Amino acid sequence: MKFMKKFKKIDFGFKKIDVKQKKELVNEIFSQVSTKYNLMNDLSSLGMHRMWKNELITLLAPQPHQTLADLAGGTGDIAKKFVQNGGKNAHIIDININMIENGINKESKKIRHIIGNCENLPIKDNSYHRATMAFGLRNITYREKALNEIYRILKPGGRFVCLEFSHVENYFFKKLYDLWSFKFLPSIGEFITNNREAYQYLVESIRMFPNQDELALMMSKANFSRVKYINLSEGIVALHSGWKI
Ligand code: SAM
């Protein structure tokens, strides 16, 4: 048993690495690309990440009394949109200080930043009305732990919405998307950030991430109720929603 634990492997893109290495490798990537992160989001998604994030906010429909925990919130797009669209305030929780610092601007007024690991949140039970995680779960080593933590910090009646890359089913669209992902995206990443590996990791990690139904099941196992998802852009991304009832 001890032997098994010592050599436990996990995906890092298409590579298999020691489970203990993943957090540091992911952290290195985000530290290295943090200054160009927002620009690369626009280039790599051809601007579509803005529309996907707006869809998340439309689904959440923030109310003036509501507080949000934006987990793996990075440069804070979701938290900012939440308060701009009527939410009371938002906390961004992220493990990487560079990502947080690069997101702080005049839109960050009703936002507090917390450095923390989503697998072990430094937050009391039943704290927030809403929780979000956009493009975070894929990067987390112990995803089940993170989902349990999100459930724990939500107030009863609270809702979690996860926006994450998912799986494209349409055969022809998938071919086109794979061509863009593998042939162009790492080169654009290299040109802009001087870090090809980070964007190679991105496209590979997307392919290794659980599909829409598998993620829905993981959320149900973490006790979320009424778990549902919708595909956006043919399933390039999916929005998963679950409630703490
Ligand atoms: N949510 C932001 C967005 O949509 O633009 C940022 C997403 S970025 C792809 C992923 C973020 O997850 C990074 O800021 C990274 O530091 C953070 N992250 C990765 N592992 C984490 C962990 N275990 N706990 C908290 N944050 C983590």
Q: Is 29 in the pocket of ligand 1 (CB under 6 A)?
A: no
Which residue has 């290195």 as its token pair?
28
Would you call 194 exposed, middle or buried from its count of C-beta atoms within 10 A (0-12, 13-18, 19+)? exposed
pLDDT of residue 159: 98
pLDDT of residue 2: 53
Q: Is 56 in the pocket of ligand 1 (CB under 6 A)?
A: no
The parts of the chain modelled with pLDDT lower than 50 are 1
Widest CA span in the chain: 52
The arrangement of strands across the sheet holding 111-115 comes to 111-115, 89-94, 67-71, 128-134, 154-165, 237-243, 225-232
DSSP run (H or E) holding 212: helix 212-221
Per the CB < 8 A criterion, the answer to whether 163 and 134 are in contact is yes
Our mutation pick for probing the ligand 1 site, out of 26, 111, 193, counting the most ligand atoms within 8 A of Cβ, is: 26
Q: Is 119 in the pocket of ligand 1 (CB under 6 A)?
A: yes
pLDDT of residue 121: 98
Q: Is 87 in the pocket of ligand 1 (CB under 6 A)?
A: no
pLDDT tens digit sequence for 25-82: 999 999 999 999 999 999 999 999 999 999 999 999 999 999 999 999 999 999 999 9
Q: Is 77 in the pocket of ligand 1 (CB under 6 A)?
A: yes
pLDDT of residue 238: 98
